[in-house]
Amino acid sequence: MWLLFAFIAIPMIEIALFIQVGGLIGLLPTLLIVLLTAVAGTYLVRNQGLRELGNLQRAFTDLRDPTEPLANGAMILFAGALLLTPGFFTDAVGLSLLVPGVRKSAYVWLRSKIKVKSFRMGENPQERPDDQVIDADFKDVTPDKRPTHGNSGWTRH
Protein backbone atom coordinates (compact mmCIF):
# COMPACT_ATOMS: atom_id res chain seq x y z
CA MET A 1 0.00 0.00 0.00
CA TRP A 2 2.80 2.40 0.90
CA LEU A 3 4.59 1.65 -2.37
CA LEU A 4 1.46 2.46 -4.37
CA PHE A 5 1.10 5.70 -2.44
CA ALA A 6 4.74 6.61 -3.19
CA PHE A 7 4.33 5.88 -6.91
CA ILE A 8 1.35 8.23 -7.01
CA ALA A 9 2.52 10.96 -4.61
CA ILE A 10 6.10 11.45 -5.80
CA PRO A 11 5.26 12.29 -9.45
CA MET A 12 2.53 14.64 -8.24
CA ILE A 13 4.98 16.40 -5.93
CA GLU A 14 7.53 16.65 -8.75
CA ILE A 15 5.00 18.09 -11.20
CA ALA A 16 3.85 20.66 -8.63
CA LEU A 17 7.46 21.67 -7.91
CA PHE A 18 8.29 21.95 -11.62
CA ILE A 19 5.30 24.25 -12.12
CA GLN A 20 6.18 26.39 -9.10
CA VAL A 21 9.92 26.67 -9.81
CA GLY A 22 9.36 27.11 -13.56
CA GLY A 23 6.88 29.91 -12.84
CA LEU A 24 9.41 31.67 -10.58
CA ILE A 25 12.62 31.38 -12.60
CA GLY A 26 11.50 30.27 -16.06
CA LEU A 27 11.81 27.14 -18.17
CA LEU A 28 15.50 27.17 -19.15
CA PRO A 29 16.90 27.85 -15.66
CA THR A 30 14.62 25.12 -14.28
CA LEU A 31 15.87 22.59 -16.83
CA LEU A 32 19.47 23.71 -16.22
CA ILE A 33 19.10 23.12 -12.48
CA VAL A 34 17.74 19.60 -13.11
CA LEU A 35 20.63 18.85 -15.48
CA LEU A 36 23.27 20.23 -13.08
CA THR A 37 21.96 18.22 -10.14
CA ALA A 38 22.15 15.05 -12.25
CA VAL A 39 25.78 15.79 -13.24
CA ALA A 40 26.86 16.83 -9.73
CA GLY A 41 25.02 13.87 -8.21
CA THR A 42 26.77 11.45 -10.54
CA TYR A 43 30.15 12.85 -9.50
CA LEU A 44 29.32 12.70 -5.78
CA VAL A 45 27.85 9.20 -6.01
CA ARG A 46 30.95 7.93 -7.81
CA ASN A 47 33.37 9.37 -5.24
CA GLN A 48 31.40 8.31 -2.19
CA GLY A 49 30.65 4.91 -3.70
CA LEU A 50 34.35 4.22 -4.26
CA ARG A 51 35.14 5.33 -0.70
CA GLU A 52 32.43 3.04 0.68
CA LEU A 53 33.70 0.15 -1.46
CA GLY A 54 37.10 0.62 0.21
CA ASN A 55 35.41 0.55 3.63
CA LEU A 56 33.64 -2.68 2.66
CA GLN A 57 36.91 -4.29 1.54
CA ARG A 58 38.59 -3.26 4.80
CA ALA A 59 35.68 -4.74 6.78
CA PHE A 60 36.13 -8.06 4.99
CA THR A 61 39.91 -7.95 5.40
CA ASP A 62 39.66 -7.21 9.13
CA LEU A 63 36.86 -9.80 9.55
CA ARG A 64 34.50 -7.10 10.86
CA ASP A 65 30.75 -6.93 10.37
CA PRO A 66 30.24 -5.54 6.81
CA THR A 67 26.62 -4.51 7.44
CA GLU A 68 27.21 -0.77 7.76
CA PRO A 69 29.40 -0.40 4.64
CA LEU A 70 26.90 -2.51 2.69
CA ALA A 71 23.99 -0.37 3.90
CA ASN A 72 25.91 2.82 3.09
CA GLY A 73 26.67 1.50 -0.38
CA ALA A 74 23.00 0.67 -0.94
CA MET A 75 21.95 4.15 0.20
CA ILE A 76 24.54 5.78 -2.07
CA LEU A 77 23.28 3.68 -4.99
CA PHE A 78 19.70 4.70 -4.19
CA ALA A 79 20.82 8.35 -3.95
CA GLY A 80 22.35 8.06 -7.41
CA ALA A 81 19.10 6.71 -8.84
CA LEU A 82 17.17 9.56 -7.22
CA LEU A 83 19.61 12.19 -8.50
CA LEU A 84 19.37 10.87 -12.05
CA THR A 85 15.58 11.02 -11.87
CA PRO A 86 14.47 14.47 -13.03
CA GLY A 87 12.83 16.45 -10.26
CA PHE A 88 13.45 18.66 -7.27
CA PHE A 89 11.98 16.42 -4.58
CA THR A 90 13.97 13.35 -5.68
CA ASP A 91 17.11 15.50 -5.96
CA ALA A 92 16.62 16.77 -2.40
CA VAL A 93 16.18 13.25 -1.04
CA GLY A 94 19.13 11.96 -3.12
CA LEU A 95 21.45 14.76 -1.98
CA SER A 96 20.42 14.22 1.64
CA LEU A 97 21.40 10.53 1.35
CA LEU A 98 24.88 11.62 0.27
CA VAL A 99 25.39 13.36 3.64
CA PRO A 100 27.21 10.87 5.92
CA GLY A 101 25.26 11.98 9.01
CA VAL A 102 21.93 11.37 7.30
CA ARG A 103 23.10 7.94 6.14
CA LYS A 104 24.26 7.12 9.68
CA SER A 105 20.88 8.14 11.13
CA ALA A 106 19.04 6.11 8.48
CA TYR A 107 21.30 3.13 9.22
CA VAL A 108 20.63 3.36 12.97
CA TRP A 109 16.88 3.61 12.33
CA LEU A 110 16.91 0.67 9.90
CA ARG A 111 19.01 -1.41 12.28
CA SER A 112 16.47 -0.84 15.05
CA LYS A 113 13.73 -2.19 12.74
CA ILE A 114 15.65 -5.27 11.53
CA LYS A 115 16.70 -8.04 13.89
CA VAL A 116 19.72 -10.12 12.86
CA LYS A 117 19.47 -13.66 14.14
CA SER A 118 23.15 -14.53 13.73
CA PHE A 119 26.26 -13.36 11.97
CA ARG A 120 29.47 -15.33 11.44
CA MET A 121 32.57 -14.77 9.35
CA GLY A 122 35.32 -17.31 8.79
CA GLU A 123 35.58 -20.72 10.37
CA ASN A 124 35.32 -21.40 14.05
CA PRO A 125 37.98 -23.96 15.04
CA GLN A 126 35.68 -25.43 17.72
CA GLU A 127 33.06 -26.28 15.07
CA ARG A 128 35.48 -28.38 12.98
CA PRO A 129 36.94 -31.21 15.01
CA ASP A 130 40.11 -32.82 13.68
CA ASP A 131 38.51 -36.29 13.49
CA GLN A 132 36.61 -35.25 10.35
CA VAL A 133 39.82 -35.13 8.28
CA ILE A 134 40.17 -38.07 5.90
CA ASP A 135 43.69 -39.02 4.81
CA ALA A 136 43.80 -41.13 1.64
CA ASP A 137 45.88 -42.05 -1.40
CA PHE A 138 44.47 -42.27 -4.89
CA LYS A 139 45.36 -43.64 -8.28
CA ASP A 140 43.98 -42.21 -11.52
CA VAL A 141 42.33 -45.06 -13.46
CA THR A 142 40.90 -42.96 -16.31
CA PRO A 143 41.65 -44.76 -19.61
CA ASP A 144 43.79 -42.97 -22.18
CA LYS A 145 41.82 -41.36 -24.96
CA ARG A 146 42.52 -43.05 -28.26
CA PRO A 147 41.01 -41.80 -31.51
CA THR A 148 38.80 -44.24 -33.40
CA HIS A 149 39.60 -42.72 -36.80
CA GLY A 150 42.70 -41.77 -38.72
CA ASN A 151 44.46 -38.44 -38.76
CA SER A 152 42.41 -35.87 -40.67
CA GLY A 153 45.19 -33.31 -40.77
CA TRP A 154 43.19 -30.82 -38.68
CA THR A 155 44.20 -32.18 -35.28
CA ARG A 156 47.28 -33.71 -33.77
CA HIS A 157 47.11 -37.15 -32.17
The domain limits of the chain are 11-114
Rounded to an integer, the average pLDDT of 120-137 is 64
- Exposed e or buried b per residue across 44-80, where buried means at least 16 C-beta atoms within 10 angstroms of its C-beta: bbeebbeebeeebeebeeeeeebebbebbbebbeebb
> What is the overall mean pLDDT for the chain?
86
CA distance 35 to 19: 17
Q: pTM here? A: 0.69
Query: What is the share, in percent, of the chain residues with pLDDT greater than 90?
Result: 57
User: Which pLDDT band, with edges at 50, 70 and 90, does 11 fall under?
Assistant: very high
* pLDDT over threshold 60, residue 120: yes
